[in-house]
Amino acid sequence: MKSFTLAVATAAALYAGVNQAHAWSLSEAAAPYKGTSITVVGLDRPSYKIAQKLTPEFEKETGIKVTWNIFPYEDTLKEETLNFISNSQQFDAILSDVVWPVNFADPDWVLPLSHFTGDAKLADPNLDLKDFFPVWLASFTVNNKLYGLPFDSYAGLLYYNKSMLKAAGFDGPPTTWDELAHTYLPKLTDKSKRVYGYALQSARGETQTADAFARFLWPWGGKFIDYSNKTVAVNSPDAVDGITFREGLLKYMPDGIVSDDHSQVVEMFAQKQVAMITEWSAFYPTLSSSNLGSDLGIAPEPKGPKGAYSAFGGFAYMVSSQVNKKHQNAAYLFIQWLTSREMAKPLIEGGAVVARQSADEDPSVQAKFPNLAPMVKTWETSTVPDWRPQLECYPRFSDIVSDWGSRIELGQVGVKPGLDSMEKDLTAYMKSSNCWGKINNPEAAMLLYK
Amino acid sequence: MTDTAQDRAPPMAAAPPSWKEKLEPWFFILPSVVLLLAIGLYPVIYTFIASLQAWVMGMGPPSFSGLDNYIHAFGSSDFGHSVGRTLILILVTLPIELILGMMIALALDSTNFAILRRLLQICLVIPIAITPSVVGLLTQLMFNEQLGIINQLLHLVGIPAIDWLGRPTAAFITVMIVQIWEWTPFVALVLSAALSTVPKDIDEAAMLETERWWPRFRDVQLPFMWPGITAALVFQTAFTIKEFDMIYSIEKGGPGTSTETSVMQIERMAFRGFDVGLASAESILMLVLSIVLARIYIRVFYREMD
């Protein structure tokens, strides 16, 4: 009897859900906001280009006018913070990097998504939050509240030139950093011909912190912050090992790598001057359309001595709390549409990277986009959501990491003294800015979504 | 002819101006004064007030912190090094710009080769007319180790390729070279204007006296040029201290911080680190440095010919 009751209840719930799904439509939900103009923050990257291209479909269906405001990545946090501090209400849909949620959520500049998902008129019953990879939902959860819908989501990948590796006697890419450094690079590097085994984007700024520093911290067992003891851990023996290893790779890289950013490294790889790079999955469209052709190989990043930890980065859309309710609801409808299951495939086809399991794991999609399989594997097994710590004082924190990280890479200071100085500066800054009280640990939020 | 009573009467004293008449001149200058205060003084006062506050954007409202930001700025090796780089940039580039500028000004003053003089005048405008950020981007291309034309030219004369932008010292030298290229024409134009203040009759008399250029330059032209030279020094020092776009677009102050000048460090503090209080204190310190240098130039170099 008990199971019969349960079955009836389940059937009734399913029916209600299906009925509601039939009842809900974007055009009807958007009817009250017809004619509303919303402003969306975007970046000059492939995901946003295709999103802009597809936006007229949303405008046609809803009558909501969407204006894109595109910024270089380096200026985005500044522009959005100034928008909030001055209460200028310029932006309705806020773009948050994976390290900014606490900056926006703590001062209540953005609304938790429950504000909208609890409203049956606005919430698409097919939103299906569980379709997003857990690590991405955890990354945009602050104090157990989800604030953003993931969009433009990256994993660090190893891109390699199949022909160059084959010519050096290798059938496949390296699987460990040790193998990469000691077996592959000596055979792949010929400085007299200006051919290099590996290039690591290391430009000062976020590239140095997220790409050049964190990449050699986690796989060696290091981390930025010890949450339990509230200490900065960048000079732990594991961290020293990892950064020392990084310094050992410099002899296989082009001169001046310390000043090279993503674009230069990708270009050198595309020009076949470099055999391997570790870059974001978002660069696949650029590399697949270069003259590498079938030489382009993609694999997960190599493992370190303490396990597989690949670079983790990307964005989510949030809704500003400062704009009026009409704008908030219209902006929510837009970001819900943009990050929906239905839009995932058209976005991927257009060059975007999304965090929807249904699309990224679809074999027919993976067959067309070889960056997806290693990306999915990375998100499921080999990354951490706090690849960079979520601190309200993160901008200055990252600046200090990048400053000392660059000095170490330039050889201006030794690894151990450099990391000790980094730790000293970070600890002093964390204390003076009262930053320990404004931390979000997304690793803890993983339990909510697993 | 006798004086009449009317003639003998003391002249009538002018009526004291009414308050309206007294205020009238103020109404004429008031718009300019308000404008100057709004765009000149207000930002300085605002920055000074911000410099006395603990204010990190996004981390709560500002609070009064006295001289903490100034103490922090003085103790910061980051800020200290950036000021050091700025002063080195001034000390190296300014004399070279003055010497080259003077040579160009004298060439422009010459009565020979009219067509070449005209060509030189046109060429002088080009570096000034190009947007500094474009200069930076062009520098990136021209000084690129592998693809740049500078290394190609060096290769022609047997000099091996130099990693101009990848090594700290070479990158700083690159910035100096571009800075000199960009600003020498401006100095030349200022000095050319100063040269035009030399009275013609005196200059002609000097030419009759001697055919050698050095005594004519030293004893006749140079004394008239000191005000112009002082102006060039003051302007160029200010321009160099606030040079941002060109250096930023070369490689954002890199590699590392090797080409980061004080204004770039301040921008980084304010808009990357969001520490508005500290950045404001550093801005005020740089303003004081500019004023001190300008006063030194005026005291040492400025003199007027009667």
The CA-based dihedral angle spanning residues B51, B52, B56, B62, taken in that order and rounded to the nearest 10 degrees:
-130
Token pair 């030399």 is found at B198
The CA-based dihedral angle spanning residues A342, A346, A347, A350, taken in that order and rounded to the nearest 10 degrees:
180
The parent domain of residue A98 ranges over: 2-153+313-381
Query: Domain tally for chain A?
Result: 1
Tens digits of per-residue pLDDT, B177-199? 999 999 999 999 999 999 999 99
Residue B167 has pLDDT above 90, yes or no: no
For residue B256, the chain A residues in CB contact (below 8 A) are 204, 258, 403, 406-407, 409-410, 412
Give A26→chain B minimum CA distance, Å: 35
Residue B1 has pLDDT above 50, yes or no: no
Residue A126 has pLDDT above 50, yes or no: yes
Domain membership flag for residue A324? yes
For residue A403, the chain B residues in CB contact (below 8 A) are 78, 256-257
Name the residue among A259, A396, A435 with its Cβ closest to that of B166. Answer: A259
Q: Using the beta-carbon criterion (under 8 Å), do B59 and A434 form an inter-chain contact?
A: yes
Residue B6 has pLDDT above 80, yes or no: no
Neighbouring C-alpha atoms within 13 Å toward the C-beta of A261: 13
The candidate with the shortest Cα–Cα distance to A291, out of A276, A262, A271, A266, is: A271
Per-window interface: B 98-127 vs A, CB < 8 A: none
DSSP 8-class letter at A259: G
B80 close contact with A: CB closer than 8 A: no
Give A258→chain B minimum CA distance, Å: 6
- What burial class does residue A29 get, using C-beta atoms within 10 Å of its C-beta: 0-12 exposed, 13-18 middle, 19+ buried? buried
Tens digits of per-residue pLDDT, A82-113? 999 999 999 999 999 999 999 999 999 999 99
For residue A194, the chain B residues in CB contact (below 8 A) are 146
Predicted model pTM: 0.83
Q: Using the beta-carbon criterion (under 8 Å), do B58 and A434 form an inter-chain contact?
A: no
Tens digits of per-residue pLDDT, A328-362? 999 999 999 999 999 999 999 999 999 999 999 99
Tens digits of per-residue pLDDT, B218-264? 999 999 999 999 999 999 999 999 999 999 999 888 888 899 999 99
Counting every residue written for chain A, the total comes to 450
Q: What mean pLDDT is predicted for residues A283-294?
A: 92
Token pair 């000390």 is found at B91
Query: Is residue B290 a contact partner of residue B103, using CB atoms and an 8 Å limit?
Result: no
The alpha carbon of B200 is separated from its chain's Cα centroid by a whole number of angstroms, namely 30
Give A110→chain B minimum CA distance, Å: 13
Of B1 and A355, the structure prediction assigns the larger pLDDT to A355
pLDDT at A11: 43
- Residues of chain A whose beta carbon is less than 8 angstroms from a beta carbon of chain B are 74-75, 78, 81-82, 84-85, 103, 107, 194, 203-205, 255-259, 273, 392-393, 395-396, 399, 403, 406-407, 409-410, 412, 433-435, 438
Name the residue among B165, B171, B256 with its Cβ closest to that of A407. Answer: B256
Q: In this structure, how many other beta carbons lie within 10 angstroms of the beta carbon of residue B62?
A: 16
- Angstrom distance (rounded) from CA B213 to CA B207: 9
Residue A68 has pLDDT above 80, yes or no: yes
- Angstrom distance (rounded) from CA A278 to CA A285: 15
For residue A438, the chain B residues in CB contact (below 8 A) are 59
Between the alpha carbon of residue B302 and those of residues A192, B192, B229, B295, B298, the distances in Å are 56, 17, 8, 10, 5
Q: What mean pLDDT is predicted for residues A383-411?
A: 92
Neighbouring C-alpha atoms within 13 Å toward the C-beta of B9: 6
Residue A69: pLDDT band with limits 50, 70, 90: very high
Of B17 and A199, the structure prediction assigns the larger pLDDT to A199
A37-43 and A65-71 as β-strands: parallel, antiparallel, unpaired? Answer: parallel
Interface test with A, best of B46, B53, B59, B265 (most A CBs within 10 A): B59
Residue A141: pLDDT band with limits 50, 70, 90: very high
For residue B85, the chain A residues in CB contact (below 8 A) are none
Q: Using the beta-carbon criterion (under 8 Å), do B252 and A433 form an inter-chain contact?
A: no
Residue B57: pLDDT band with limits 50, 70, 90: confident
Interface test with A, best of B46, B55, B57, B266 (most A CBs within 10 A): B57
Angle formed by the axes of helices B168-195 and B222-241, nearest 10°: 140
For residue B58, the chain A residues in CB contact (below 8 A) are 81, 84-85, 103, 107, 392
Beta strands in B48-185 (DSSP E): 53-54, 63-64
Domain membership flag for residue A300? no
Listed in sequence order, the DSSP H helices in B143-244 are: 149-156, 168-195, 200-209, 213-216, 222-241
Greatest Cα pair distance in chain A: 81
Residue A116 has pLDDT above 90, yes or no: yes
Size of interface A-B (CB pairs under 8 A): 84
Counting every residue written for chain B, the total comes to 306
Domain membership flag for residue A216? no
The candidate with the shortest Cα–Cα distance to B224, out of B209, B203, B208, B210, is: B203
For residue A84, the chain B residues in CB contact (below 8 A) are 58
Nearest residue in B to A391, CA atom: B59
Residue A374, domain CATH: 3.40.190.10
Residue A21: pLDDT band with limits 50, 70, 90: very low
Domain membership flag for residue A182? no
Residue B5 has pLDDT above 60, yes or no: no
- What burial class does residue B5 get, using C-beta atoms within 10 Å of its C-beta: 0-12 exposed, 13-18 middle, 19+ buried? exposed
For residue B250, the chain A residues in CB contact (below 8 A) are none
pLDDT at B14: 74
Tokens of A352: 């975007």
First CA to last CA across chain A, in angstroms? 32
- Angstrom distance (rounded) from CA B185 to CA B168: 27
Per-window interface: B 223-282 vs A, CB < 8 A: 251-258, 268, 271-275
Domain membership flag for residue A86? yes
B73 close contact with A: CB closer than 8 A: no
pLDDT at A9: 45
Q: Helix (H, G, I), strand (E, B), or coil: what is residue A197? A: strand
pLDDT at A6: 42
Interface test with A, best of B272, B275, B276, B278 (most A CBs within 10 A): B272
Domain membership flag for residue A106? yes
Residue A41: pLDDT band with limits 50, 70, 90: very high
Query: Is residue A208 a contact partner of residue A238, using CB atoms and an 8 Å limit?
Result: no
Name the residue among A194, A257, A410 with its Cβ closest to that of B146. Answer: A194
Q: Using the beta-carbon criterion (under 8 Å), do A203 and B145 form an inter-chain contact?
A: no
A300's enclosing H/E stretch is strand A296-300
Beta-bridged to residue A70, according to DSSP, are A42
Residue B127 has pLDDT above 50, yes or no: yes
Tens digits of per-residue pLDDT, B266-279? 999 998 889 999 99
Q: Using the beta-carbon criterion (under 8 Å), do A205 and B272 form an inter-chain contact?
A: yes
Which percentage of chain A shows pLDDT scores above 90? Answer: 82
Interface test with B, best of A81, A192, A259, A390 (most B CBs within 10 A): A259
Domain membership flag for residue A318? yes
Give B255→chain A minimum CA distance, Å: 5
Residue A112, preceding peptide bond in cis (omega within 30° of 0): no
Domain membership flag for residue A225? no
Give the dihedral sign, CA A90/A104/A157/B253.
positive
Which DSSP string do the residues of B288-301 spell out, in sequence order? HHHHHHHHHHHHHH
Nearest residue in A to B254, CA atom: A259
